[in-house]
Structure 1
Amino acid sequence: MSTENTTTPQIDFNTPAQQRLRKLRALKDKSATVGIAFGGISVIIAILLIFFYLLYEVAPLFQSATMDRWQQDGRTVEAYASPGEGKTLYLSMEEQAEIGVRITDQGQAVFFNTLDGTVLKEQALPHPAGAEIASLSVISEAQHLLALGYSNGEALIFKHDYKSTYPDGVRVITPSIEYPVGSELIRVGDKPLTKLAVAFDEENWSLIGGDATGMTQTILSVEVNMMTDEVETSLSSIELPAFNIKAQKIIQLPDRRWLMIAGKNKVAVVDLQADDGPQTSQVVEATSGEITVFQLLLGGNALLIGDNQGNINQWFLVRDQDTNWHLTKIRSFEGGSSPVVDISTEHRRKGFASIDEAGTLRLFNTTAHRNALTEAVTSGEADYIAYAPRSNALLVEENNMLTLWAIHNEHPDVSWSALWEKVWYEGYQEPEFIWQSSAANNDFEPKYSLMPLAFGTLKAAFYAMLLGTPLAIAGAVYTAYFMVPAMRRKVKPFIELMEALPTVILGFLAGLWLAPFMEDQLAGIFVILMVVPIAIVTFGFVWAQVPNRIRFLIPEGWDAALLVPVIILAVLFSLNISDGIEVLLFGGDMRLWISNGLEIPYDQRNALVVGIAMGFAVIPTIFSITEDAIFAVPKHLSYGSLALGATPWQTLTRVVLPTASPGIFSALMIGMGRAVGETMIVLMATGNTPIMDMNIFEGMRTLAANIAVEMPESEVGSTHYRILFLAAFVLFLFTFVVNTLAELVRQHLRKKYGSL
């Protein structure tokens, strides 16, 4: 017996070709590892850079105010004697804070260099012979308008003005005194004008003056002769009745209707245009101490009242439901215990500076309700303080000595309360959340509440997810689990292709076509929402009863395509019967029935339009990720469940969906992020009004849309500009927090169901 020798073929893994292949594979693996790591780290670094850049732009909003002695050429400007003779009645500066003006009780207007007190110009104001200056009234700080009251009952209206010229490229500022209604003295009454208040519009000036025994109102009408350009004036006067309050100071509001009279600790509100003639409409106790400062804030609507206990309160007129006006205390500002000596208001913002007998200066902002700075600036009692128009400088007079201070207070109107809490703005009946960043006049009070924008962002996302989530998840479940592969290969790419549609196109269609269509077919929309589900269920039931010989004519799995004509017919049917239903139930016009009958406001571009348009924008994202998650569930889990006797539906709900839940949850969070950050659809499909109302028939403004609208028109570095960056920062943090929580939940679900 012979044995045949056989040899097993040997494979040599160390041939030069195999070695080169292994080296190449190792190089590819290493390159992929490095490339993926580099890409991931780059994404993280990019996100961190965005975070820190936003923080860099936002941080200046919350910097504290500072003040220092004015520096010029590296040297501190020393205090100097007040230029001119006499006691200061008024102190101010021009735009550049280079020239100051001092009105004295000698009837002199002294213009001086704010750095050293050098007198640049001294001008005597018209002065009646034998009379003395009895009072000075600030008509408008921003317009430099003043009025002097004399002891003989006459008054003078004037303004300090500054003109800039550039001879040889060098700026030269020329100060002057001008007389808006002429240099002639105006007869107000026969009594000394120890109290004087002036208000005006384009053609009429109202002067109210007198003493403790009585006051007179004089109306000065100014007309310009079109032929000769001469100014023609006429006077009319009436004696005002006694107002049962011993007046210490009076203020007339710019509308010329209201006169405010400050007594010892009370304020009387006089309606000059009451039906029965001027009369007191209200007397309020303004302070528990004695009033020491009584003046108007920028805009002429709010009163600032300081007392001898160091308190400062803001008051303004509030209209009640019966259209009656009441002087209301709005907010108090914490001061010291020393009496308030003087208050100087900012020329362009709702802020002011106060100084007390102890020499402590405080900077406040009324809208933000915050004290920006508290600092001792004098060793004794100060006499006057004056803000520069740009709020970057402050003049302080103490014992006939002037000191120039530099103020650094760029963003005083920002605080937590102004951004996130209700604020009582001038002209409003109660505190509200308001976003209104600009207006046509300089007296405007900016309203930077982010609450309406944050609310609008969540509202838009809520309605978009409310519509998109059920459709996307239900469609993904059916496509991944029940649909035949041949049909799935056509449906899935088609739906994912919807994601490539630019959102600006969706917004354009939603704003110009869908919104008017829904307004006209509002009843039909709601009929569709009821009829289409009923039609789908009814068709499914009827199809199940159809004989098999007919049902088998349709290839297995393709019967779902029959729902397309069913849905189209159901929509057309709903729109056709909606007119009859609208006539039967809603009086022929559902929109008017909602607006008038239910008293629910209706805007054409509203949250319902946004919900539908944004719903279609987020459906592809949620559908694609959810479908992939369900389809990726291992088949042996489904087959094992079915083999154990579970129905397909039981297998889906108890095996497939729990296993795919991490992916489904991720899809929802990504869709939520898409909805929160959406800009163009919200911008074009809503009224873009920053209001807080869950009403589905009203619009909203989101953080993203607000940034897109207002960033191009905001001044770089301004408060408005930085608050828009703050809005972006809030949006960034919201997305970060939501995604972090979503990842934690996803990991929990993955750990819980990963062992199936």
Structure 2
Amino acid sequence: MNEAVSVKAPEIDFNTPQLKRHRSIRTLKDKMAKGFIAAGGVSVIVAVTLIFFYLLYEVAPIFKSASVDAIASYDAPGEKGATLLLGMEEQAEKGLRLNDNGNVAFFNLKDGSVDSATRLPIPDSATLTGVNEGAPGSNTVVAGVSDGSVVIFKHTYKITWPNNVRVITPSLEFPYGESPMALDPSGAALTHVAVRDNNDYLLVVGANASNKLFASFYEKEANFLTGDVTLEESTVTMPSVNGDIVSIQISPDTRWLYIATKSGKLDMYDISNKQSPDLIARVDAVASGSQITDMRFLLGGYSLLIANNRGEIRQWFPVRDTENQYHLQHVRSFQAGKAAIAKIAVEPRRKGFLVATAQGEAAIFNTTAERNLLQAQIVDSDVKHLSIAPRANFMLLQSQDDRLHFWSIDNEHPDVSWSALWNEVWYEGYAEPDYVWQSSAASNDFEPKYSLTPLVFGTIKAAFYAMLIAIPLAICGALYTAHFMSPTLRRKVKPAIELMEALPTVILGFLAGLFFAPFMESHMPGVFTLLVLTPIAILVFSFAWVNMPQSVRLIVPEGWEPLLLLPVICFIGWLSFAISPAVEVALFAGNMPLWLKENLGLDYDQRNALVVGAAMGFAVIPTIFSITEDAVFSVPKHLTYGSLALGATQWQTMIRVVLPTASPGIFSALMIGLGRAVGETMIVLMATGNTPIMDMNIFEGMRTLAANIAVEMPESEVGSSHFRILFLAAFVLFLFTFLVNTVAEFVRQRLRAKYSVI
């Protein structure tokens, strides 16, 4: 009997030098991969955090309040006498003081030492009884004399650089001669005066103690050869005034004359007809029971600032109504404590102003931003006179004890506030408050309009129409490709659609702006005919195909049926544009844009939201399609097979099983597509009118946050308010993206948890 032979299995040595070396290398690779992945993830988090804090760093200064610091205090320089005017040159090194004897002293602002002194060309026995400045920053001054005449002069400052040292030489100029201009024939002292000097006209208005008005109007004629200007005087009839005059102001175009009286009335006269002034409006400019203490034009000569004896300053400007008639509108109010406002000083280059009160307080305001930037105690007594430097970085005031106080001002970004950024603002020249973005203009008197609301609205509008076009096409296409299409055809279609994403958006914007927009304008009925006929044609063809004999349908392999739709869609496209002229004549009187305007009140802009929606939708479709298709295709096959085995149809399986299971991925695709649409720049930049308007009309354009940054950032001054507000726009985009992604992740996790049990 043969005995069984036991064969011992060969032993495998897992600790050979080669295997040990292999395991060591693999362990090292695993650790390196883990380290690189962790470092990459941390780097992304750090980068996003740094971007957040950098944007915040650039944005934060625009909300900083103003501050002031005392520099010097000294006795009023120059000859003794009551001060009528204080002024400063641009570098805030030299100051000017004019007293009632007509003495002008130019002095150094840091110590009060007199640099030079002169006297206005008035009679020795005469004194100055009233002084007023022209346009802010013009350095033009009109002085009323006790003999009923006026003197017009300018204080100028010449800068030279001997031995590379800056030297400022102040002087007086008399553009219309040194001889006083007679205004009041009776020779009574002029207590209030005003002047407007532009390229074509010179208008001087004065009032005496009896509140009687006088005026001289001159038309300018320039000699083209010598450059000399001659004045041709015209007689002017002045209205009668009821009440004690506090201030007189003239609009830059010499059309409007404003007269404020101590009782609180403000009269607005149209003096375009110099022989027959017309009272346009008379309003109570201050609260009942209070008195007007000062009145000044804001920069630009459109808005009036009227102060009262209760610490309030009101802004008024003329508004044209629907009947093309003007009226005075109280726009906004500012409060500088309870004490009477002594003086108003207007910033020469911004829509801001500085006030001083009878209790020695100073307050800084900005009208557009409706912002109180500073309120501080400067002196312990009443303020008699006040001046602000041309750059609004210094102020000079005189207290009751005839001492001058020189202060520096740090007020870099006064024209920005949350209300100006997000709320309606009543801008000068507008019939009502509105949301406006207009960061620059040709005029120095421009009022910056920094409302981000129309930009946010434009961003949402562009994204909405893009997603409206992209979502149904991308989602439905992805569902059919992943669930119904032949695998062979899928391998060709999916890469082809994903390849669309590689097309530069600047090319899409170029084609949309220069080809598709004018094509759509000239074939608009064809576009809408295509949108109507295409789904109808697809349904009709599908119904006909399903009812074809079995022998015919078997000719086409299963899953390749979509190819049959290509000629149908091409034919419908050709037919839609072929019948477009006939449809436009039959339904829209031959001009659809004009018909929309006349019958529906819809304006038509060639580069509009429909163009943007089509172009940007084309750019977003590949993103949504690819992610959605992967999510649907990744649904476990045993779920679909089980559903089909239980008797469900393909569509029932799709709706009841595949869609819920793939919903987290589909939702992620939508959010990523939305983020792409919100952040898109070149398409909306080139395919819209790029106008920041708020209108849901699909035929109007818009401006988005991203496009606005791309357009205006290269032209903005580094560190300016405009520059930082553009960074704020980027910060808003950053926060919007962060918020959308956070919500998307939360919803995705909820969907995953809900349908993970399927």
Q: TM-score range by the shorter chain?
A: over 0.9
Aligned to 1:588: 590
**Is contact 2:420–2:451 with CA below 8 Å preserved after alignment?**
yes
After alignment, is 175-184 or 464-473 more displaced?
175-184
Q: Letter of the 1:613 partner, please give it.
A: A
The corresponding residue for 2:331 is: 330
Q: Give the drift of 1:129.
A: 5.6
Structure 2 equivalent of residue 226 of structure 1:
224
Distance 1:248 1:396, change over 3 A: closer
Equivalences for 1:530-545 in 2 at 5 Å? 530-545=532-547
Q: Does 1:88 align with 2:88?
A: no
Q: Which has the higher mean CA deviation after the structures are superposed, 133-142 or 9-18?
A: 9-18
Q: Which residue of 2 aligns with 1:552?
A: 554
Pair 1:184 & 2:179 matched: yes
Out of 704, 709, 712, the position equivalent to 1:710 is 712
Which residue is equivalent to 2:199?
202
- CA-to-aligned-CA distance 1:644-664 (integer Å, 9 cap, x gap): 111110110111111110010
Code of the aligned partner of 2:206: G
| Between 81-90 and 742-751, the greater mean CA deviation after superposition | 81-90
Does 1:124 pair with 2:112?
no
**What SS does the corresponding residue of 1:240 show, helix, strand or coil?**
coil
1:160 correspondence with 2:155: yes
What's 2:363 paired with? 362
Instruction: List gaps (5 residues or longer) in structure 1.
Output: 71-76
Task: Find the counterpart in structure 2 of residue 113 from structure 1.
Answer: 108
Residue 188 of structure 1: CA displacement? 2.3
The offset of 1:274, in angstroms, is 5.7
Amino acid in structure 1 at the alignment position of 2:267: A
TM-score normalised to structure 2 length: 0.97
1:285-322 alpha-carbon deviations (Å, 9 max, x no partner): 11220111111111111111111111111111111111
In the TM superposition, 1:377-456 aligns within 5 A as 377-398=378-399, 399-456=401-458
Residues 152 and 190 of structure 1 are in contact (CA less than 8 Å); yes or no, is this contact kept in structure 2?
no
Tell me which residue corresponds to 1:723: 725
Partner of 2:5, secondary structure, is coil
Name 1:285's counterpart in structure 2: 284
2:264 counterpart of 1:262: no
Report the Cα distance in structure 2 between the residues aligned to 1:304 and 1:178, rounded to whole angstroms: 29
Q: 1:461 offset after TM fit, Å?
A: 0.4
CA contact (8 A) 2:86 2:387 kept: yes
Aligned letter for 1:39?
Answer: G
Distance in 2 between residues matched to 1:610 and 1:133, nearest whole Å: 66
What is the alpha-carbon distance in structure 2 between the residues aligned to residue 737 and residue 84 of structure 1? 67
Q: Separation in 2 of the partners of 1:276 and 1:654?
A: 86
SS in 2 for 1:238: coil
Q: Which amino acid aligns with 2:467?
A: M
Report the CA distance between 1:335 and its aligned residue: 1.8
Tell me the equivalent position of 2:699.
697
Report the Cα distance in structure 2 between the residues aligned to 1:208 and 1:128, rounded to whole angstroms.
Answer: 21
Q: 1:100 touches 1:111 (CA, 8 Å); kept in 2? A: yes
Work out the CA distance in 2 between the residues paired with 1:617 and 1:210.
69
2:305 corresponds to which letter in structure 1?
Answer: L
Contact 2:261 2:292 in 1 (8 A): yes
Aligned partners of 1:181 and 1:222 also within 8 Å: no
**Counterpart residue number, 1:242:** 240
Contact 1:245 1:268 in 2 (8 A): no
Deviation per residue, 1:93-117 (Å, 9 max, x gap): 1111000111111112211100011
**How far apart in 2 are the matches of 1:315 and 1:64?**
25
Q: Amino acid of the residue matched to residue 511 of structure 2?
A: L
Aligned CA distance change for structure 1 residues 227 and 576 (closer, same or farther; 3 Å): closer
Structure 1 residue 504: Cα displacement: 0.4
**Alignment match, 1:315:** 316
- In the alignment, the residues of structure 1 paired with residue 500 and residue 75 of structure 2 have an alpha-carbon distance, to the nearest angstrom, of 74
Q: Is the 8 A contact 1:58 1:726 kept in 2?
A: yes
Write the distance in 2 (CA, Å) between the matches of 1:384 and 1:565: 84
Aligned partner of residue 376 in structure 2, secondary structure: strand
2:472 pairs with 1:470: yes
Match of 2:272 in 1: 273
- Tell me which residue corresponds to 1:73: none
User: Among residues 614, 617, 620, which one is paired with 1:618 in the alignment?
Assistant: 620
Equivalent residue for 2:680, pick from 665, 669, 678: 678
CA distance in 1, matches of 2:60, 2:129: 49
Percent identical residues? 56
The residue number in structure 1 matching 2:11 is: 10
Question: Alpha-carbon deviation of 1:562?
Answer: 1.1
Residues 353 and 364 in structure 1, CA contact (< 8 A), matched pair in contact too: yes
What TM-score, normalized to structure 1? Answer: 0.97
Q: Specify the SS of the correspondent of 1:665.
A: helix
Q: Which residue is equivalent to 1:577?
A: 579
**Of residues 103, 107, 120 in structure 1, which corresponds to 2:98?**
103
Residues in 2 aligned to 1:59 and 1:277: alpha-carbon distance in whole angstroms: 54
| Range 699-708 or range 210-219, more displaced | 210-219
Q: Which amino acid aligns with 2:258?
A: M
Q: Residue by residue, what CA displacement relative to the aligned partner does 1:467-524 show, whole Å, maximum 9, x if unpaired? A: 0111011110011111111101111111111101110000000000000000001111
Residues 61 and 414 in structure 1, CA contact (< 8 A), matched pair in contact too: yes
Distance in 2, matches of 1:652 and 1:189, equals: 94
Q: Distance in 2 between matches of 1:83 and 1:29?
A: 85
CA contact (8 A) 1:109 1:122 kept: yes
Q: CA, structure 1 residues 477+33, in 2 after alignment: closer, same or farther (shift >3 Å)?
A: same
Cα gap change, 1:581 to 1:230, in 2 (>3 Å): closer
Give secondary structure in 1 for the equivalent of 2:405. Answer: strand
Tell me, what secondary structure is at the counterpart of 1:510? helix
Match of 2:486 in 1: 484
Determine the C-alpha separation between the residues in 2 that align with 1:225 and 1:578. 62
Preserved contact between residue 188 and residue 237 of structure 1 (Cα < 8 Å): no
Which deviations, in whole Å up to 9, do the C-alpha atoms of 1:357-399 show, x marking residues without a partner? 1111111111111110111010111111211111111112112
Q: For the structure 1 residues 167 and 538, does the alpha-carbon distance in structure 2 shift closer, same or farther, using more than 3 Å as the test?
A: same
Distance 2:185 2:219 in 1: 20
Deviation track 1:68-115 (CA, whole Å, cap 9, x = no partner) reads 112xxxxxx343433333211111111110001111111122111000
Task: Please list the CA deviations of residues 701-727 of structure 1 after superposition, one character each: whole Å capped at 9, or x if unmatched.
Answer: 001000111111111101110010001
User: In 1, Cα distance between the equivalents of 2:79 and 2:274?
Assistant: 48
- 2:44 aligned partner: 43
Identify the match of residue 601 of structure 1 among 593, 597, 603: 603
Q: Give the C-alpha shift of residue 550 in structure 1.
A: 2.1
> Which residue of 160, 167, 176 corresponds with 1:172?
167
CA deviation map 1:26-62 (0-9, x unaligned)? 2221111111111011011111111111011011111
Question: Which residue of structure 1 aligns with residue 463 of structure 2?
Answer: 461
Aligned mates of 1:311, 1:510 — CA distance in 2: 54
Distance (Å, rounded) in 2 between the aligned partners of 1:688 and 1:229: 44
Tell me, what secondary structure is at the counterpart of 1:375? strand
How big is the shift at 1:529?
A: 0.3
Aligned-partner Cα distance in 1 for 2:98–2:714: 43
CA distance in 1, matches of 2:80, 2:660: 89
- What's 1:74 paired with? none
Contact 2:194-2:249 within 8 A present in 1 as well: yes
Does the 8 Å CA contact 1:80/1:116 hold for their aligned counterparts? no
Residue 228 of structure 1 deviates from its aligned partner by 4.3
Q: Shift of the alpha carbon at 1:236? A: 1.8
CA separation in 1, counterparts of 2:76 and 2:578? 88
Q: Supply the AA of the counterpart residue of 2:576.
A: S
Query: Does structure 2 retain, via aligned residues, the 8 Å contact 1:606–1:696?
Result: yes
Q: Which has the larger displacement, 193-202 or 271-280? A: 271-280
Are the counterparts in 1 of residues 97 and 104 from structure 2 also a CA contact under 8 Å? yes
Instruction: Give the counterpart letter for 1:114 in structure 2.
Output: L
| Bigger shift: residues 561-570 or 186-195 | 186-195
